[in-house]
Amino acid sequence: MVTFKTLDDKLVKVEVELVEIFCVVKDFFNGDFGDLELENTVFPLPNVSSYILNHIVYVCKLSLAVISKYEAVEKERQEFETNFFGQLSDKTIVDLVKAADYLEIEEVLDFVMPSVRKRFRLGDDKGVEFVYTAEAEAILLRRAASARKPTMATNGGSSDPKPTKVATFITSDGELVKVPVAIATMFGIVKAFVDGELDDPELENTVWPLPNVSSYVLDIVVYACKKLLELRSKYDAVEKERQEFDVEFFGQQSDETIVGLLGD
């Protein structure tokens, strides 16, 4: 614990992990929070009352909790990215980009392209259109000899045991692939057709031709979409928690207290 002496001569003890985000303390110890003097020093706060300091500590605790949850979701996303691309061959990744581009799935493209640039050692200026060029084809051919065969088991669009609504696609290899509506409407070409209406009966009554996408690649696209939806839901839950805290916390404080929290 670290002790602070406030404006009203109160001694307030604060956990070290919270004090680590107090820049005035961090600078004093040059970021070394293992310093034994940390717990033996009483830090004067001549401009902060104990009432305000306790509110600051409370906000810090909640902020660290939210940050921790964000970091956990981000770690899960990074692990998914590593595992996902680690199982795919160069050719499959290129086919995945082309399929996501053809289907107009921005969320998948945003997820895929940074890894594509890293994998093929491309500059940040290389976008989706690059995978259609002769230069990209030459890179792919040079790497083909050492590329691994794709082994991912995705179970495609039919992996949901009880999908409530599905859209059906016929792929370039003649396979009929059923995709949950929540995922199908991530496809820009589908979303535009039904104007974003998940309840549009045409979603289930139409067989959507995909002449440029194989069933194998569509399975991978659907797998990526499912995981990205899951991650988005987790990010949204943390953000909702943060927003609810903001509304509740600041709704309980007087103008004077809020000004005190902001400082001079």
- Cβ-based neighbour number of residue 17 at 10 Å: 11
Classify residue 242: in a domain, yes or no: no
pLDDT at 157 over 50: no
Q: Which residues pair with 167 in a beta bridge?
A: 179
The verdict on 111 and 69 lying in the same domain is: no
Strand order of the β-sheet with 42-44 is 11-14, 2-5, 42-44
Which of 146, 172, 190 is the endpoint of a domain? Answer: 146
pLDDT confidence of 99, banded at 50, 70, 90? very high
pLDDT at residue 169 greater than cutoff 60 = yes
Summary mean pLDDT of the chain: 81
Cα–Cα distances in Å, from 131 out to 55, 84, 120?
Answer: 53, 19, 10
Q: How many domains does the chain have?
A: 3
Q: Are residues 128 and 174 in the same domain?
A: no
Q: Look at residue 161 and tell me whether its pLDDT is greater than 50.
A: no
Residue 258: inside a domain = no
- Among 211, 7, 113, 159, residue whose Cα is nearest residue 105: 113
Same domain? For 127 and 170 the reply is no
Dist. CA 117–CA 123, nearest whole Å: 7
Provide the H-helix boundaries in 87-206: 90-103, 106-119, 134-143, 181-184, 188-193, 202-205
Q: Do 56 and 93 have their domain in common? A: no
Q: What is the pLDDT of residue 163?
A: 46
Residue 139 predicted with pLDDT over 90: no
The answer to whether position 252 is within a domain reads no
pLDDT score of 96:
92
State residue 223's pLDDT score: 93
On whether both 178 and 211 belong to a single domain, the answer is yes
pLDDT tens across 185-243, in order?
888 888 777 665 656 666 777 888 999 899 999 999 999 999 999 999 999 998 888 88
Compute CA distances 114 → 67, 97, 108, 178, 237, whole Å. 24, 11, 11, 29, 25
Clarify whether residues 136 and 163 are in a common domain: no
72 in the same domain as 102: no
Domain co-membership, 121 together with 165 = no
Picking from 51, 77, 103, the residue at the C-terminal end of a domain is 77
Range of 112's domain? 88-146
Do 160 and 142 belong together in one domain?
A: no
Of the candidates 21, 43, 77, which is a domain's last residue?
77
Same-domain pairing of 60 and 97: no
